[in-house]
Each structure stands twice: as structure tokens, then as C-alpha cells.
Amino acid sequence: MLPLSLLRTAVNHPMLVELKNGETYNGHLVSCDNWMNINLREVICTSRDGDRFWRMPECYVRGSTIKYLRIPDEVIDMVKEDVMQKSKGRGEVRGRGGRGGRGRGKENKRMKIVEIRM
């Protein structure tokens, strides 16, 4: 799972974003894109020295200005469940198909369709 995919699964979760200039933004992630540009809502901005605060209903952060993002622990658990479910699904297809499941592309897709019809 790529870092940006993890960020995508963190949509609607609270997070802390620190910019390169040291300012931090606490808020809920609304959306993000492949450049790490993000939209936050219900934001609290904290100055570099940590003694001034601003509240804003929403804000947009350009990806290139970000130093790091901190996301809640449960997001990784969500990813784990996701991966588990996917691999489980694949296992079933392989098992019932009675083949190695090593096939690629079209062959594999056709197999799946047949199984769904059954």
C-alpha cells in the first residue's frame, strides 16, 4: 500500500499536517489528490512557535508545502482488514476454480465471471 493510498483511506479522519515552515494544521481530511494536495475542514492552525492559533472552517494545502502528516492508528487497521479481505477473496476463487490461479489478464477475468454465474 503506497503512502498516498494510505492518505486516501484516511479521508474523513482527523489528522495533523505540518508544513515545511513549521505551521501545523489540525482538521478532518475532506479530499486529497496524487500531488498530496489536500482539503481539510474544521481546521485549527498553529503557528511555528506554537503560541498562536487560528480556527477556520476549511482550508486547502498545496502538497509541495507539506513536511509530514500524522494520521490516527485505526487507519492502518482499516488497511489491514482491507488487505485480508482481498487476499481471502482471491484464495476462494483459486480454491474453487481448482486451478493454480496463476493465469493473467483475460483468462483470469473469465474464470471469475464463470464463478459468479455459478
Q: Nearer Cβ to other proteins, position 70 or 112?
A: 70
Task: State how far the Cα of 65 lies from the Cα of 68, in Å rounded to an integer.
Answer: 9
Q: Does 72 bind other proteins (CB under 8 A)?
A: yes
Q: Does 59 bind other proteins (CB under 8 A)?
A: no
Smallest separation (angstroms) from other proteins to the CB of 88:
21
Q: Nearer Cβ to other proteins, position 3 or 105?
A: 3
What residues between 23 and 52 interact with other proteins by CB under 8 A?
Answer: 36, 48
Contact in structure between 21 and 48 (CB atoms under 8 Å): yes
**What values do phi and psi take at 9, rounded to 5?**
-70, -15
Amino acid, single-letter form, for residue 65: T
Choice from 4, 56, 84, 114 touching other proteins (CB under 8 A): 4
Contact in structure between 45 and 36 (CB atoms under 8 Å): no
Contact in structure between 67 and 16 (CB atoms under 8 Å): no
Q: Does 62 bind other proteins (CB under 8 A)?
A: no
Task: State how far the Cα of 67 lies from the Cα of 17, in Å rounded to an integer.
Answer: 8
Residue 63 DSSP one-character state:
G
Q: Nearer Cβ to other proteins, position 4 or 56?
A: 4
Residues binding other proteins: number (CB under 8 A)? 22
Q: Nearer Cβ to other proteins, position 39 or 108?
A: 39
